[in-house]
Structure 1
Amino acid sequence: MKDDVLNVCANTYLQARTIFLESTKASGYDTTGYLNDEKVFTSDIDLYTDVSVGGNLQSKNLLFVLSGTHGVEGYIGSACQAWLAQNTCAFNGKFKIILIHAVNPFGFQFNRRVNENNIDINRNFEKGGIARSDELLNNMVHKGLRPNSYRKYNYLNLVYFLSRCYIRFGVRKTQSAIQQGQYKYADGAFYGGKYSTWSTKLIRTVLNIYKNQFDNCFFLDLHSGLGKYGAAEFYVAENVNSDMYKRAHNALGSVVTSPFNGNSSSCYVHGSLRSEATKILGSKNTIIGTLEVGTYGKLTVLQKILKENYIFQFGSLNDKDQISKELKNIFYPPDLDWRAKYIGHFNKLLFDYFESLK
């Protein structure tokens, strides 16, 4: 497995895209590249989201795999997609496969979770945001996390701030408020935006092509960061009594989690890509979820996200270069064992689903 990891893992967006395109071409995939032509950033290279279609084009079993929704998390997602392209024949023509590479190419290229306008794509599928059940909590948390003081992102200062929130609102509610994101502070972390981004519009367009075109559909959005180091969960944001949750659990087993079951490292996220996929593709004969593999723990990950957001906006070029490397290592550890585990988890999900269709 480690040799396979070395073959598909990259160190830059451009290298990842090259490996992906070479892998899909060699396996007969048809690829369309969509240029991100937003003019609010400068890049030495053109940035693309690539959509590759392969496998058995006549099959009514669709398999979607997406990478880079949170740009910097795209490294391991891209590796999984390249691995799948190289091993398409292992599925014996069972699937029509749609690979969406680098949903957020700006974040991938510049090692950010967000896009060129500081918008979190995975919270951008609700136009202008939505009303919160506890606006006081949401505003207090996200106002407190805005990038107006570097000292705030000192680890101990962050612990102090969160402790105050935990005492007042409770741990779970505070964590939920952070993860759900916010639509008020455009310079803040987890900002969902007030309009549909380039990436959001593209994903909607692609998914609408395939609605009502399948008998079964397995949809995976690939992420990293939450949970225990190297441990996987397949996050399905549905009630445990729903048909989709039951279908997922029957096919994939104990790796399936839900925020409504209390066994997930994530809370329910409004405006997510997963929720948009469910709206478009429906819940009949679909399994739509997120593969999440843990890295360094919630507090460490949060502190690094907040620090990166501050430095990207106010730091020196040297500081930006350093924090870019740190954030990349948080979501894409250099540890080959971790990378091999991730691809192994991905591999198992696909084959468990494959077996469930027999």
Structure 2
Amino acid sequence: MSGFFQSSYQQARTAFLRAVQADSRVQWKKALLHPLHGAEAEPLALDAVWLGRMDARRLLVLQSATHGIEGFAGSAVQVAVLHQALTLPEDTALLLLHAMNPWGFSHRRRVDEAGIDLNRNFVDFSQPPENTGYKELADALIPAHWTLEALATADQRLADFREVYGEQIYEEAVSGGQYTHPRGLFYGGRAPGWSRLQLQHLAEELRLAERDAVAIIDVHTGLGEWSVGEIICDHPPRSIGVEWARAWYGDAVTEPFLGTSSSVPKWGLIDFFWHQLLPDRCSFVTLEYGTGSTEQLFNVLRADHWLATQAVGQVDAALKNRIQAELLEHFCPAATDWRQAVVQQGLLRVRQALEGLSKV
């Protein structure tokens, strides 16, 4: 199972497209080319592939690399699904969206080329949310200098905020989404990013809003208990989206709005695009594979964003390599058991979603 993981975006895309080419169920495919090139000067694309009848009433959507560097896991699951040749229930299709954020996948960053976190980009930009907590913490989250002394001072400010306001408000301030600091963590942008626009175009071209029932699984990594694929459901409590998720995936489902998830409520999630597109006719879940603590997540991202603010050649090579290695290890651990668990659980959740859709 761990063999489905690749070591670069280019290799992952090649493996995906080879599996697509070999699958007779593919009815339609499209490469949405990104205007920039990747870290190896390779072309970048959001690859969309449709398996099964184009007019199917029910649809499962499997997304990867919403957060670019997390695409290694999502791509592995998608390729494994293609190799399994799962039987699609009657009147049910499968849509694979490979590399929602291809630039971030290739450059091994969570954000896109503009520093936008795609999973905070789905807001009304005429009235963007205001995150006063982030404004207070911004300079501490990404200090001007990455030295032991500067970090100690910054970390103390973060600890003081947490002590005063509590863990929940602290995590919401840091990761809930912010729209004022373009080089900061969890920046949602000031306008729809490239990936959001591509998703909107695909929805129109494929007439997704006309489907009767849609399940969406968006694969993520980096938050929660080691190798556990948490099913995070950000639908409103007691909505049909939650009901379907609980019926299909069972006790693995958690809800940020009820405080049962490793994730806190957030603004601008890609989930909300699907909620709006298919109210009462979809169930969107984030399949979040744990790799470490929330504090560790924040710290590797702080280092990555600090590094991105520095001029080329300004940072000591050893420090730069360490920051990049720690970021990759957090979002795509090399451990074989973790990678096997990702693929095994991914296949299980895809089967459960297909079975659940067949009963709608």
Give the TM-score taking structure 2 as reference length: 0.90
Q: Answer yes or no: is the 8 Å Cα contact 1:142–1:182 preserved in 2.
A: no
Q: Which residue of 2 aligns with 1:346?
A: 346
Change in CA separation of 1:156 and 1:316 when aligned onto 2, cut-off 3 Å = closer
Partner Cα separation in structure 1 for residue 203 and residue 259 of structure 2: 30
Pick from 189, 194, 206: which aligns with 1:193?
A: 189
Pick from 233, 236, 241: which aligns with 2:233?
A: 236
Query: Are residues 1:334 and 2:331 paired?
Result: no
Q: Answer yes or no: is the 8 Å Cα contact 1:124–1:197 preserved in 2.
A: yes
Q: How far 1:158 sits from its partner (Å)?
A: 5.5
- Aligned positions of 1:96-175 closer than 5 A: 96-128=93-125, 130-132=128-130, 135-151=131-147, 159-175=155-171
Query: Are residues 1:272 and 2:261 paired?
Result: no
Aligned residues: 350
Partner Cα separation in structure 1 for residue 58 and residue 331 of structure 2: 31
Q: Which residue of 2 aligns with 1:21?
A: 17
Q: How far 1:110 sits from its partner (Å)?
A: 0.9
Partner Cα separation in structure 1 for residue 332 and residue 49 of structure 2: 23
Partner Cα separation in structure 2 for residue 11 and residue 153 of structure 1: 35
Comparing 19-28 and 315-324, the one that deviates more: 315-324
Q: How far 1:205 sits from its partner (Å)?
A: 1.3
Pick from 218, 242, 249: which aligns with 1:252?
A: 249
User: AA paired with 2:263?
Assistant: S
State the SS of the aligned residue for 2:273.
helix
Q: How far 1:55 sits from its partner (Å)?
A: 3.0
Q: How far 1:13 sits from its partner (Å)?
A: 0.4
User: AA paired with 2:225?
Assistant: K
User: AA paired with 2:81?
Assistant: L
Partner Cα separation in structure 1 for residue 149 and residue 272 of structure 2: 31
State the SS of the aligned residue for 1:47.
strand
Comparing 80-89 and 12-21, the one that deviates more: 80-89
Q: How far 1:202 sits from its partner (Å)?
A: 0.4
Q: Which residue of 2 aligns with 1:214?
A: 211
User: AA paired with 1:273?
Assistant: I
Q: Which residue of 2 aligns with 1:33?
A: 31
Q: Answer yes or no: is the 8 Å Cα contact 1:112–1:324 preserved in 2.
A: no
Partner Cα separation in structure 2 for residue 153 and residue 289 of structure 1: 41
Query: Could you list the runs of 4 or more consecutive aligned residues of structure 1 that deviate by over 6 angstroms after TM superposition?
Result: 152-155
Partner Cα separation in structure 2 for residue 89 and residue 69 of structure 1: 24
Query: Are residues 1:64 and 2:75 paired?
Result: no
Partner Cα separation in structure 2 for residue 153 and residue 19 of structure 1: 45
Comparing 162-171 and 15-24, the one that deviates more: 162-171
Partner Cα separation in structure 1 for residue 47 and residue 2 of structure 2: 21
Alpha-carbon displacement from aligned partner over 1:4-36 (angstroms, at most 9, x marks no partner): 321x21000000000000011111323211111
Partner Cα separation in structure 2 for residue 175 and residue 294 of structure 1: 17
Partner Cα separation in structure 2 for residue 54 and residue 142 of structure 1: 44
User: AA paired with 2:342?
Assistant: Y
Partner Cα separation in structure 1 for residue 273 and residue 181 of structure 2: 23
C-alpha root-mean-square deviation of aligned residues, in Å?
2.2
Q: Answer yes or no: is the 8 Å Cα contact 2:60–2:354 preserved in 1.
A: no
- Aligned positions of 1:285-300 closer than 5 A: 285-300=281-296
Q: Answer yes or no: is the 8 Å Cα contact 2:175–2:185 preserved in 1.
A: no
Partner Cα separation in structure 1 for residue 148 and residue 98 of structure 2: 35
Q: Which residue of 2 aligns with 1:316?
A: 315
Partner Cα separation in structure 1 for residue 151 and residue 253 of structure 2: 32
Partner Cα separation in structure 2 for residue 157 and residue 105 of structure 1: 36
Alpha-carbon displacement from aligned partner over 1:255-280 (angstroms, at most 9, x marks no partner): 11111221111112211111112112
State the SS of the aligned residue for 1:150.
coil
Change in CA separation of 1:156 and 1:296 when aligned onto 2, cut-off 3 Å = farther
Partner Cα separation in structure 2 for residue 156 and residue 296 of structure 1: 21
Q: How far 1:147 sits from its partner (Å)?
A: 4.6
Give the TM-score taking structure 1 as reference length: 0.91
State the SS of the aligned residue for 1:35.
strand
Q: Which residue of 1 aligns with 2:355?
A: 355
Alpha-carbon displacement from aligned partner over 1:223-247 (angstroms, at most 9, x marks no partner): 0011111112111112322221122
Q: Which residue of 1 aligns with 2:179?
A: 183
Identity of aligned residues (%): 26
Q: Answer yes or no: is the 8 Å Cα contact 1:80–1:343 preserved in 2.
A: yes
Q: Answer yes or no: is the 8 Å Cα contact 1:185–1:191 preserved in 2.
A: yes
Gaps of 5+ in 2: none
Q: Answer yes or no: is the 8 Å Cα contact 1:111–1:328 preserved in 2.
A: yes
Change in CA separation of 1:81 and 1:231 when aligned onto 2, cut-off 3 Å = same
State the SS of the aligned residue for 2:256.
coil
Partner Cα separation in structure 1 for residue 297 and residue 342 of structure 2: 18
